[in-house]
Each structure stands twice: as C-alpha cells, then as structure tokens.
Amino acid sequence: MKTTTRRPIGVAIIGCGGIARAKHLPELRRVRELKLVACCDIIPERAADLARRGGASIVTKDYRDLLDCDQVDAVIVSTPHPSHGSIAVDVLGAGKHLLVQKPMTTSIRDADRLLRAAQRSDKVALALPYMYGPWLVRMKELVTRGAVGDVRMARCRIAHDADHPAHVWFAQKKAAHGGVLFDMGVYAAAVLVELLGSARAVSGMFTDPTGGATVEQNAGLVLRFASGAVGMLETSWQEIGWRNQVTVYGSQGTLDWSMRNLRLAAAPSRKGVKARWRPLPLPKRMPMPLNVCRHWAECILRGAKLLTPISRGRHLVEILCAGYQAVGAGRQVTIRSDA
C-alpha cells in the first residue's frame, strides 16, 4: 500500500528584525515539521537576508501578500509591538496558524479583537511569552503541591543592562506605546500569573525616561491576585549584571530561583530552630518542549494542549495596561479578566 509523506508546515515570518534572526529562525531550524517558506518586512533587504539564512523562497514587503499564499500554513508575527494585534487578526482571518510575539498587543481593545478572532478560528493561536523552562516547571510543581504552604506573596524580577541606543524604536513612545514594562515586564507578569493565577488589581511606579528615551526604563508593579496573594513585579533596562530572580513566600516556606539555582527554606519543625536553605534539583525531563516552535508544531499536528493561548495573552495585556494606567493616574486599577 502506498503511503504519502506530509510536507512540513510552511511558516512565514512577518517582521524580520533582531528577534526573528536571534530567536525564531534558530528555533524553526530545530523542528523538522516546520519549514520557513516566506519572509516579510517593510525593509525588503531585511526580509531578503532572513530568507537567505532560512532557505525561504518568498520575500515580500506587504504581509497581505502572504495571506492567500497556499505555501503558507502558519505565521509568526514579530513586528513592532503596536502592530501585533491587527496583523494577528488578519492572519487568523486568512485561516493560518498563529504565533504572536510579546506583548501580544499594547491595548485592551486590540487584545479583545484578537481574542474574538481566535475564538472564531479553528487554527492554533499561540501568544508569547512562553516561559516553560525547568526552573519554572519545578517551582509550579512545588507551589501546587503545597511545598511552601499557602502562598502569601511572590516577587519576580526580570531585567538586563540594555546596550541599545536610546533612539531605537522600542525606546520611543510613539513607536512602541510603552517601554520596559511592555518589553521585559511581560515576562515577569507571565511568571507571576503562572505561579499565582489571575491578577485582580495593579498599582505601580516608573522612573522618568533618560538618555533620549521617551519611555520608562525601570518599572515596579504591585499586584493583588484572586487568591489574596500579593505579587511584586520588577523590570529594568538599566540593571548592571543580569540577575533575574523569582521568590515565592508561603506560610510554610520560601522558594527562590536566582542565578540559575533553585532552593527552598522550609519552616522548621520546632521553635528555636532556624530555617535553612537547601538546593533543589531541576527536572531532568520536561513535560513540554523548551522550544516554543516545537510546542506550536505539536499543538498543530497532534492536538497538544496549548500552554499560552490568546486568552492568557489577553490577561497579561490587561495587567500591563493597568500598570500604565495606574502610574498615570496615581491609583490602583482593577483587573477583570482571568488567566
């Protein structure tokens, strides 16, 4: 009996800048079920360069050229933040699978439009960030099984010492709509939501823009979660030395991930004994892929559970937008959606 071999899923990348070159193309190359077939960018030379690197045969300046292309089954949207939502809606409307970069959108209105488009579509729509590394999987497992008791508070800091010039598009409010909170804070929000569930209220503060930037470069939010726990979100483009950290404080212990090390301080069994930190091993085998493109392919081809659906992206957008609103108004802002 003759068997047929399914061709790889044809992938187009819309937005061929640094994130496409540094992240999406290397991840696509590691997934044999996916094949880059088209590249689109408003700067044609940039699209042509990525196509050459990835072996794509189609190069275009207008993403609409790809929506009726039979070779394109799935699309990665990695354009500047404010355009994510409208392009992603068009991608789903054209019957293509979707992977959209973070932040999913820069407004609740656009997030709602995209959520409705995803609900109408039978295609896989995945929203970044995808934070499923061994450390987060292990932390979630420990929190879920009660290793720290009732979670009272958590802190997440995601920051780096950015070396980009101040005139780049994402440091200018007109082009990016926001600064480090949209760019890096979305990762911290994703971690806190994964560990604590849905947020219900947000307040915060930013430092003033410096060095020619017109957006915030340091941000801190305080979140209240539906569980009653408090979350502290910190993010920065101006940290000297990278030291991302996540700490969960519970009634029976404290769980901490920092400098690639995970440790637990459990409440002592008797009074007068000081709690001691002990290192914890990370999982040797992961229940999900580290490669987001592999997860995307598994969801498309085998119906795997989608770990970062558009509904999760919408909740993160609401948290971030509430942060900007809270800082601008100097008051706490309520969150209405669920993770």
The answer to whether the peptide bond before residue 129 is cis (omega within 30 degrees of 0) is yes
The answer to whether the peptide bond before residue 287 is cis (omega within 30 degrees of 0) is no
pLDDT at 5: 54
pLDDT of 187 strictly over 70 = yes
* pTM for this prediction: 0.95
- Across the range 87-103, mean pLDDT stands at 98
- Residue 181 shares a structural domain with residue 78: no
Query: Which comes out higher in pLDDT, residue 286 or 336?
Result: 286
Mean pLDDT for the chain overall: 95
**pLDDT cut 90: percent of the chain above it:** 89
- Across the range 303-324, mean pLDDT stands at 98
- Residue 197 shares a structural domain with residue 319: yes
- Across the range 288-313, mean pLDDT stands at 98
- Across the range 105-133, mean pLDDT stands at 98
**Residue 280 CB coordination number (10 Å):** 17
- Across the range 155-161, mean pLDDT stands at 94
Closest CA to 179 of 231, 83, 113, 103: 103
pLDDT at 38: 98
Residue 22 maps to a domain: yes
Phi, psi (deg, nearest 5) at residue 235: -155, 150
Residue that finishes a domain, picked among 127, 143, 170: 127
- Residue 70 shares a structural domain with residue 98: yes
Q: In CATH, what number is assigned to the domain containing residue 227?
A: 3.30.360.10
Residue that finishes a domain, picked among 89, 108, 127: 127
pLDDT at 15: 98
**Residue 304 CB coordination number (10 Å):** 16
- Which run of H or of E encompasses 313? helix 310-329
Measured N-to-C along each axis, helices 186-196 and 310-329 cross at an angle, to the nearest 10 degrees, of: 110
pLDDT of 36 strictly over 50 = yes
Residue that finishes a domain, picked among 80, 102, 127: 127
Closest CA to 202 of 216, 194, 192: 192
- Residue 149 shares a structural domain with residue 281: yes
Residue 323 maps to a domain: yes
- Residue 217 shares a structural domain with residue 325: yes
- Residue 204 shares a structural domain with residue 273: yes
**pLDDT cut 70: percent of the chain above it:** 98
Task: State which residues form the domain around 92.
Answer: 9-127
Residue 230 maps to a domain: yes
User: Which DSSP letter does residue 101 get?
Assistant: P
How many separate domains does the chain show?
A: 2
Residue 75 maps to a domain: yes
- Across the range 151-166, mean pLDDT stands at 88
Per-residue pLDDT reduced to its tens digit, 53-72: 999 999 999 999 999 999 99
pLDDT of 2 strictly over 50 = no
